[in-house]
Amino acid sequence: MGEPLTASIIVVAADSGGGLRECVTRALASNVPVELILVDNGSRDGMPQAVARAHENDGRVRAIYNRANLGFGPAVNIGAREAHGDMLLVLNPDCMLGPDTLARMLEVHRTHPDAGVIGAVVCTADGTPDPASRRRDPLLRRSLNEMTGRAQRETEDARYEGVDVPGPIPDAVIEAENVSGALMLLPRAAFERLRGFDEGYFLHCEDLDLCRRARDAGYQVLLAGDVRVRHAKGGSSAHRPVFVSYHKHRGMWRWFRKFDPAARRPLVRTLVACGIATHFLVTAPWLAARRAGRH
C-alpha cells in the first residue's frame, strides 16, 4: 500500500468575493488530510483576511499576501513553494469540492503513477459540464475551424477537428490533451520538474501551457470523467471584463508563439498577432458597455 500521500490545496484569490469562504470550508472538509495555502493577489475586498481570521486556530491553513496582483501562475508557484504535500491541488476560489473529490483524484494518481496532471469535470450549477474540462491544444487550424463553424463537421471529416472535443465526457478516467486549470492535481515531483506555471502568462492559457509541457516531458494528462465539481465560472470576468479579456488574448498569443508550428512562418505570425489584437479591440468596448449596464 505504501505511505498515504499528503495533499496541499493552493487557492489563489483576487477580489474573489464571498465564494472564497465556501471554497475554503469545503476544501477543508475533504475526507483526506490536507493543508490549504491561500495566496492573495492584492485583493481589496477583505475576503482573504476574513477567511484567514475565521481559520486562525486551524493549523492546516496558511495565508500569503502579495502586495499586488502578480497573476495566477506566479501566485500558484509561490503557494507551491510554501506547501508541504506530495500532491498539489490547484483550486479556483469558485470551485466547490465535495468531501470525497480529492480522495477520488488521489486514487486516480495511485492507479496511474505516470500521470503528471489530473483534472476533473467542472460543471455549472445545474450540472452541465464545461467544455474546458478537456480541450485540445488551440492550434491555429483548430481555432479557425471553431471560429468558422467547420468544427461541427468533425465527426464526418477529421480535418475539421476543433479545440473542443465533441460528445459527452465519458464517466471514466481518460487521457486528454488539456484539463481545466480551475481544478488540477499534480504530483509535486512533476510540478517541480516542469518548474511550475510559466510566469509569462498573467491570466488564462497557463493551464494549457502546463499540460502541453507535461505531455512533452512524457507525463500523462488525465481527466477523471466521473469526478464532477461545481464551478461558478466567470466571477473575475464579471467585474473586470476588459482586464480579463486583455490577458486572455495576451495568453493566446504567448501559447501560439511557444507551441504552434504555424508560428514559425513570419507572415502567419504577423496575421495571427493582428487578428488577436483586432478581436480584443473590437470586443473590449462591448464588454465595458455590458459591465456598465449591470451597474
pLDDT tens digits for range 43-55? 999 999 999 999 9
Q: What is the mean pLDDT of the chain?
A: 93
pLDDT (mean) for 73-81: 98
At residue 5, the pLDDT reads 63
Give me the amino acid identity at 66.
Answer: N
Asked whether residue 96 falls in the same domain as residue 172, the answer is: yes
Are residue 290 and residue 185 in the same domain, yes or no? no
CATH of the domain at 223: 3.90.550.10
> What is the structure's pLDDT at 270?
97
Please check the confidence at residue 35 and state whether its pLDDT lies above 70: yes
Integer Cα distance of 37 and 64 in angstroms: 7
* Least confident interval from 4-8, 88-92, 122-126, 228-232: 4-8
Task: Single out the residue in 233, 257, 272 at which a domain terminates.
Answer: 233
81 and 27 within one domain: yes
Q: Looking at the domain assignment, is residue 37 inside a domain?
A: yes
- Burial of residue 129 (CB within 10 Å: 0-12, 13-18, 19+) is middle
DSSP 120-165: EEEE-TT-PBPGGGEE----HHHHHHHHHTGGGGTTT-GGG--SBP
Query: Residue 161 falls within a domain, yes or no?
Result: no
Q: Which helix (H) or strand (E) holds 172?
A: none
- List residues bridging with 37 in a β-sheet: 10, 62
Assess if residue 53 is contained within a domain: yes
Rounded CA gap, 211 and 198, in Å?
11
User: pLDDT of 176-197, one tens digit each?
Assistant: 999 999 999 999 999 999 999 9
Q: Point out which residues pair with 231 in neighbouring strands.
A: 95
Predicted confidence (pLDDT) at residue 1 exceeds the cutoff of 50: no
Q: Is residue 134 part of a domain?
A: no
**pLDDT score recorded for residue 288:** 79
Decide if pLDDT at 234 tops 60: no
98 and 227, same structural domain?
A: yes
Among 201, 217, 233, the domain-final residue is: 233
Q: Which of 83-97, 147-161, 260-274 has the lowest mean pLDDT?
A: 147-161
155 within a domain of the structure (yes/no): no
Q: Do the domain assignments include residue 138?
A: no
Last residue of a domain, one of 233, 259, 280: 233
Mean pLDDT of 82-108: 97
Assess whether 173 and 81 both reside in one domain. yes
Q: Is 15 left (phi over 0), alpha (psi -120 to 50) or beta?
A: left
Report the SS3 class of residue 184. Answer: strand
Q: What is the pLDDT of residue 295?
A: 59
Q: How many domains does the chain have?
A: 2
In a shared domain, residues 73 and 215: yes
Q: CB burial class (10 A; 0-12, 13-18, 19+) of residue 272?
A: buried
3-state secondary structure of 96: strand
Checking phi first, is residue 57 left (phi over 0); if not, alpha (psi -120 to 50) or beta? alpha
Give a yes or no: residue 136 inside a domain: no
Can you list the alpha helix ranges (DSSP code H) found in the chain?
A: 19-28, 47-54, 72-82, 101-111, 140-148, 188-193, 206-216, 235-239, 241-259, 266-294
Q: How many CB atoms lie within 10 A of CB 160?
A: 18
Residues 282 and 213 in one domain: no
pLDDT at 267 over 60: yes
> Which domain does 88 fall in, by range?
7-129+168-233
Residues 6+ apart with CB under 8 A from 119: 133, 134, 176, 179, 180, 183, 184, 185, 221, 222, 223, 224
Are residues 110 and 76 part of one domain?
yes
**Distance linking the first and last C-alpha atoms of the chain:** 56
The average pLDDT across 158-176 equals 94
Q: How confident is the model at residue 78 (pLDDT cuts 50, 70, 90)?
A: very high
List, as one string, the DSSP characters of 244-267.
HHHHHHHHHHHHHHHH-GGGGSHH
pLDDT of 233: 64
Residue 220 and residue 289 in one domain: no
pTM listed for this prediction: 0.93
Give the pLDDT confidence of 270-290 residue by residue, as tens digits.
999 999 999 999 998 888 777
Share of the chain above pLDDT 90, in %: 86
Assigned domain for 144 exists: no
Asked if residue 114 has pLDDT above 70, the reply is: yes
Whether 13 and 66 share a structural domain: yes
In the predicted structure, residue 2 carries a pLDDT above the cut 80: no
Which residues are CB-neighbours of 188 under 8 A, at least 6 positions away? 80, 83, 85, 86, 87, 88
Say whether both 110 and 253 belong to one domain.
no
248 in the same domain as 124: no
Least confident of 55-59, 112-116, 154-158, 181-185: 154-158
Phi, psi angles (nearest 5°) of residue 275: -65, -45
Percentage of residues in the chain having pLDDT higher than 70: 94
Look at residue 291 and tell me whether its pLDDT is greater than 90.
no
